[in-house]
Structure 1
Amino acid sequence: MAEPNIASRAFRSVTQAHYGWYIVAMGTVLQLTTNFVSQAYSILLVVMEDSFGWSLTLTAIAYSLRAIVSALLAPWAGVMGDRYGAKRVMLIGAGFFAGGLVALSTITEVWQLFLYYSFILGIAQAMFRVNIPTTVAAWFKTKLGVAVGIQQSAGGMGASILAPGLTILLTQTDWQTAFILIGVIAGGIVFGLLAFFHGEPSDRGKLPYGSDVDEKAAEKPVGGASAKIRSQVFLKRAKSTRAFWFLPLIHHLGCVGHAIVILHVVFFAKTQGMSIEAASVIVTIYSLTSVGSRLMVPILADRLGAKGVMAFFYLIQGAAVLMLFWTTAAWEFYLFAVVFGIGFGGEMSGFLVV
């Protein structure tokens, strides 16, 4: 009998894969899509200034407020995910996400920017940011670092695709139409994927990838109610540790640092003589270069220990910012984006392994 060809072997590998790997793939696309809220705002900031003459301070406050809303609601989003299921929480978040993007196309006053972007999209981001990676983690007992690394690295490419896509839309049509199209298309993608994005292996009658007990054995996986009780006991014990409270603080400080760069780098490059099209490439470059470190850091953290690995990439991210003191030419901005992207990706993806 002839050996199956490469295409048929690949097809069989995909169709017979553990469902956890499908969760990784769907989580990647979900993160890629929903990351638009924060990653491409630097382009929106320039558009708002050109269209309405709003000050940089006002639009920066809107971004900061969105980050604060998302951060404050993140624990609540996690609790709701534990109580009602991550999928249900993200379905609500999908409504806020699509509605907020479409609503952005109607703004004429600065208060609408705060309402639609800071609050509505901030709520949506909290629901996705917490529940996508925790869902991926729930599906893996082994290979967790690989799974999280793949999801975080590929999911971090959202800005590399959406930033130039938004720039092209803005050059081909008005910004109002651009946000309507993005809201409808991105919302459709998110709702479609969530139909198959199950929060727990028990929701499909399965065990996490790498479980000692074979999924086909007579013993049934832990039911949904039992799994939730076990999760609550684990959470109660985790809350009694210092690490549980220090990790969000470290993450918050890191986010404050890279948010300043993400928010202002396109505007700053524009003040140095770059066009909006050329400046948007900075976002694409740091997003693409972050992919490698997003993938590498969870795996390294799994093997070498998370603290030292994450500290190293925090250092790279901070050192990259010093380059901006002497950056004026386009190639210098692009070089900065490469270095910053390496540190940025490494900072973001190690927390779940911890």
Structure 2
Amino acid sequence: MSTRPDAMAAGAPLDHGRAAWTVAVGCAIGLSVAFGPAFIASFGLYVKPIAAEFGWSRTAVSSLYALVAIMGAIGTPFLGFLLDRKGSRGVIIAASLLLPLALLLLIAVPADFSLFLACGFVIGLVSIIASPTAYVSLLPQWFSRRLGLAVALGMFGSGFGQFAMAHAHGELLSHYDWRTAWAIMAGVVGAVGIPVALFAARDRPELRRLRQARNEEAIEGASLRDAMRSPLFWSATPAFFLVMLVTAAMLTHLAPLLTDKGWAIERAAGVVAMIGLVSLAGRAVSGALLDRFGFGILGATLFPLQAAGCVMLATVDSDGAIYLAAALIGLAYGVEADMLPWLLRRYFGLRCFGRLYGIAFGVVQLGSVFGPLLLGYSFDRLGGYAAGLWILAIASMISTLLIIAATRLAGGESVRQAQAA
């Protein structure tokens, strides 16, 4: 590894200063209206109204969600290559402009399944650049020792967005038809996201210069080939995939599950929003825990709680149990999004961070495909959500075992020497 001054500068993030924390706060605000809160956390509230208006099954409506998630999973690795070459700022600005426009397409779709999927295709294309990847890729440029805290702050915005937008969607749906509610919230996404992208998204100047010069060897960290051959990468990434599978399934189908029980839509939306609210509490401490203890203890503690929440939803009908189940699921919600960039930066460095994060996040996003479809199939073909909830509980426990294995692998990870070289 080169020891030239520019290489050292690119490999030694500031961890302090006005510029670094401006980026972190900007990431938090931008992520509050990014694709996760704007679509993933909100679309579940529209599954039942759309199915009722169009006369479709819930599985059919969920197929749009699945299509979007598939396209995001396929496209995110390519986005990672773009981020490593060009940086994050331009991508974030483009995403802030295109996301509200793509969301607005949904309100113009008639009861035609092919047009419905075409709308999903467009939203899926935009989801590639509007995913958290571009924002999250900024943080390792500016932080090292306090990266866990910075990522937690950024993802705190995502959790707050999940809470606020789910609550707002629910309130609007209780007063307006689903098209009007969706259009209003698409406007909110643009009104908040565009100014933040223009004024707060900035790449680290030293790193940007090295990228523009195509001087990748001067950037500290492992090569993409070495990172992709690491057992640590292929143990941790599937664990996070399973966590996302459970989270996406619950965010999509929890509101229909509760309204099937007789709950009003605004009350069901409040429970969905509660997942985001509890996630905020978890993220308030997760960053400090990551920086001090690493990822293993955090995952091995929170992922089983997610399993317990799924079991409670499958077996208990009391209001108190449902709120507790949502809280347990919320504690684990988003932790994988905090842990993934921290782990990749800690053990693989900055040289191929965008590409590696894009690949890993693409795999994790596949959970957003299979989770909602799994619960939709359970309802449509098996007569209810119970069987699907038990499968989700098992998936959560498998993720726990994988994260424990990843913790052991991290202790002897050879790419740590490549990072320090």
Residue 190 of structure 1 pairs with residue 193 of structure 2 = yes
Match of 1:73 in 2: 75
SS at match of 1:40: coil
- In the alignment, which of 208, 212, 230 is matched to residue 225 of structure 1? 212
- 8 Å CA contact retained: 1:327, 1:333: yes
Q: Residue 24 of structure 1 corresponds to which residue in structure 2?
A: 24
Residue 248 to residue 89, structure 1, CA distance change in 2 (3 Å): farther
Amino acid of the structure 2 residue aligned with 1:150 = L
Does the Cα contact within 8 Å between 1:285 and 1:338 map onto a contact in 2? yes
- Once residues 127 and 292 of structure 2 are traced to their aligned partners in structure 1, the CA distance between those partners, rounded to angstroms, is 31
Residue in structure 1 matched with residue 247 of structure 2 by the alignment: 258
Change over 3 Å in CA distance of 1:84–1:252 after alignment to 2: same
Give the C-alpha shift of residue 83 in structure 1. 1.5
Counterpart of 2:293, as a letter, is L
- The residue number in structure 1 matching 2:178 is 175
Cross-structure match for 2:99: 97
Partner of 2:155, secondary structure, is helix
Correspondence list, 1:205-220, <5 A: none
Is contact 2:38–2:189 with CA below 8 Å preserved after alignment?
no
Deviation at 1:286, TM superposition (A): 0.9
What TM-score results when the alignment is normalised by the length of structure 1?
Answer: 0.83
Give the drift of 1:37: 0.9
The 3-state SS of whatever aligns with 1:328 is coil
Q: Deviation of residue 347 (structure 1)?
A: 3.4
CA shift for structure 1 position 55 = 0.5
Mapped partners of 1:293, 1:283: distance in 2: 16
The answer for unaligned runs of 5 or more in structure 2 is 1-15, 344-421
CA distances 1:132-158 after superposition (whole Å, capped 9, x unpaired): 111122111331111111111232111
SS in 2 for 1:104: helix
- Structure 1 unaligned segments of length 5 or more: list them: 1-15, 208-220
State how far apart, in whole Å, the 1-side matches of 2:215 and 2:274 are. Answer: 41
Tell me what 1:327 maps to: 316
* Residues 1:162 and 2:146 aligned together: no
- Displacement of 1:281 in angstroms is 0.7
Counterparts of 1:335 and 1:152, CA distance in 2: 23
> Given that residues 42 and 166 in structure 2 are in contact (C-alpha distance below 8 angstroms), is that contact kept between their aligned partners in structure 1?
yes
The sequence identity of aligned pairs, in percent, is 21
Distance of 2:106 and 2:239 partners within structure 1: 32
Conservation of the 8 A alpha-carbon contact between 2:30 and 2:157? no
Structure 1 SS opposite 2:342: coil
Note if contact 1:97-1:120 (Cα within 8 Å) is conserved in structure 2. Answer: no
2-structure distance, mates of 1:88, 1:246: 32
**Could you say which residue in structure 2 is the equivalent of 1:211?**
none
Structure 1 residues 142 and 243 mapped into 2: Cα distance closer, same or farther (>3 Å)? same
CA offsets per residue over residues 89-138 of structure 1, 9 Å max, x none?
22333343112111111111233332323x33333333232111111221
Relative to structure 1, the CA distance from residue 270 to residue 228 in structure 2 (aligned partners, 3 Å threshold; closer, same or farther) is: farther
Question: Which amino acid in 2 is paired with 1:135?
Answer: L
Could you tell me whether the CA contact under 8 Å between 1:82 and 1:228 is conserved in 2? no
CA distance, structure 2, for counterparts of residue 125 and residue 296 of structure 1: 29
Q: How does 1:231-270 map to 2 (within 5 A)?
A: 231=219, 234-236=222-224, 237-270=226-259
The aligned counterpart of 1:218 is: none
Structure 2 matches for 1:297-336, cutoff 5 A? 297-336=286-325
> Alpha-carbon deviations, 1:156-182, whole Å to 9, x = none?
111211112112222333322222222
> Aligned match of 1:351 in 327, 337, 340?
340
> Residues 87 and 222 (structure 1 numbering): CA distance in 2 closer, same or farther, change over 3 Å?
closer
Paired with 1:79 and 1:322, the residues of 2 have a C-alpha distance of: 40
What's the CA shift string for 1:70-99, capped at 9, x where partnerless? 112111111111122212222333343112
Amino acid at match of 1:22: T
TM-score when normalising by structure 2: 0.70
Give distance in 2, aligned partners of 1:294 and 1:184: 27
Give the counterpart letter for 1:146 in structure 2. L
2:148–2:338 Cα contact (<8 Å) kept:
no
Residues 297 and 235 (structure 1), Cα distance of their counterparts in 2 relative to 1, 3 Å cut: farther
State the 1:18 CA deviation.
1.6
Q: What are the Cα deviations for residues 259-310 of structure 1, in whole angstroms up to 9, with x where unaligned?
A: 1111111101111111111111111111100112223223212212212321
Cα RMSD, aligned residues only: 2.4
Structure number with higher relative contact order (C-alpha < 8 Å, ≥ 6 residues apart): 2
Residues 59-138 of structure 1: pairs in structure 2 closer than 5 A: 59-108=61-110, 109-117=112-120, 119-127=121-129, 128-138=131-141
1:287 paired to 2:276 = yes
